[in-house]
Amino acid sequence: MAKKILIVDDLGSLRYVLSYDLKRAGFETFDAANAEEGLRLAGSESPDLIIMDMMMPGIDGIQATKLLKKDEKTKDIPVIMLTARSSKHDVVDAIKSGIAHYIVKPYKFDELMAKINQLIGGP
């Protein structure tokens, strides 16, 4: 059974491309256009990994990660922060929220795959 990856990003084109590439790599994917929807899906679908954008309307990726880490059902799901924000302050805040890895957009798919494989193994 393929491992499941939840993609949480308000940019539909990024969700589409990332989902396409991850499916080609053998993963099952599902996505959310905002953090609230992502939190619901994380609780109901129990993904093996979450790829989270930092900047989204409403709850941002850092707040969402903190909520995931407080929930007994989702606290052990690794989160990769995939964001355009690259300041040291942003990276530190994301790490404090409990993320497993931080990748700055534009990203290289090979780098993302290496981190996914490191965190949860292959599909």
- Is residue 22 within a helix (H) or strand (E), and if so which, with residue range? helix 12-24
Contact 63, 56 (CB under 8 A): no
- Residue 50, pLDDT > 80, answer yes
Residue 32: strand, helix, or coil: strand
Contact 81, 101 (CB under 8 A): yes
pLDDT at 122: 84
Domains and CATH numbers, the chain: 4-115 (3.40.50.2300)
Tens of pLDDT, residues 7-27: 999 999 999 999 999 999 999
Partners of 6 in beta bridges: 30, 50
pLDDT at 1: 78
| pTM to 2 decimal places | 0.96
